Amino acid sequence: MQKVDVQLGERSYSISISDNFDLLAPALAQKKQVVVISNPTVAPLYLDAVRQLFPHSAVQHFLLPDGEAYKTLQSFEQVLSFLLQQQMSRDVLLVALGGGVIGDLTGFVAACYQRGVAFVQIPTTLLSQVDSSVGGKTAVNHALGKNMIGAFKQPAQVVINTAVLTTLPAREFAAGMAEVIKYGLIADATFFRWLEQHQQQINQLDDAILAQMIRHCCQMKADIVSRDETEQGDRALLNLGHTFGHAIEAWLGYGNWLHGEAVAAGMVMAAKVSVARGWLSEAELAQICRLLRAFNLPVEPPAEMQIDDFMPYMKTDKKVQNGQMRFVLPTAFGKTALVDDVTEQELIGIFH
């Protein structure tokens, strides 16, 4: 078992990493009202095991359809209606059993139901284990932008079971690796090289290597969140590739490209801007593309998208400040900065 602590004063919590679900904090296991939010893909595999974590509760569950297309206000309302129909009190514990969609939506419900109830993240995709389950960002999508409606709501605990990755489709695993590689690019060139050295074991789902990799990512994110919970500074750097990536997801229609796939292409686009500015070399750009390709991730945006297709989404990105677009760009290998002077001409340049 490995453990990472997210230090946020009264809202502090632990991330427990092992090869089972049995690390739930005793106080949470005592809860009398428990509702598991999941989907029809994950529930048949793991719902029964999660139910057994709560011996004092007749655990109820609510299943949402699987996929990014269902991370909506309509789904949010459906879960709230279920909780009200079941007369759940403010003592209810919500359990997010699934990937990033389930985690984000459950957290947003937890932030709003009766002005706030406790929830636990049990992430079942690599992407949610290394990124979205940690840090308390919760949201739903809107046709005009991804994650534009939400709240900061920290979980009571994150329980990561690495064994679930053996049932994860290869494409979903690859999408998670985009967020893993992101950590190396934003702040840790040594970790990037470690990923290059261990790509074969990672692709073979080596238990020890996966646990080490997930713990490192969680620790990096926990450190950043502890310093900047509501994204006033450093935390924005975690959005490397996301300004471009969110535009790809929204323009194509949510779910056509997986989040990690869009982020992978977005990171390369950001790196190309940095190459044009002289911050990264062409060799370093090639190194980034090589590692992404090693995990079957795209390194180009959809062929049918041009800069004019990106602009409306990037202009409503959450990092926009006083009407000015801001981008997270690599300033050196393993270092990033939030930049507010990227010109439209520079953006056009990455398409040639």
Closest CA to 214 of 259, 245, 177, 186: 177
User: DSSP 3-state assignment of 137?
Assistant: strand
> Based on the number of CB atoms within 10 Å of its own CB, is 177 exposed (0-12), middle (13-18) or buried (19 or more)?
buried
Give the length of the chain.
352
Query: SS3 letters for 54-84?
Result: CCCCCCEEEECCCCHHHCCHHHHHHHHHHHH
Rounded-to-integer distance, Cα 114 and Cα 89, Å: 8
Contact 327, 290 (CB under 8 A): no
Rounded-to-integer distance, Cα 203 and Cα 231, Å: 32
276-280 contacts, C-beta under 8 A, 24 or more apart: 276/346, 276/349, 276/350, 277/329, 277/346, 279/329, 279/330, 279/331, 279/332, 280/330, 280/332, 280/333
Residues catalogued as catalytic: 115, 137, 179, 221, 231, 235, 239, 242, 246, 259
Q: Which residues contact 71 (CB under 8 A, 6 or more apart)?
A: 101, 104, 105, 139, 140, 141, 254
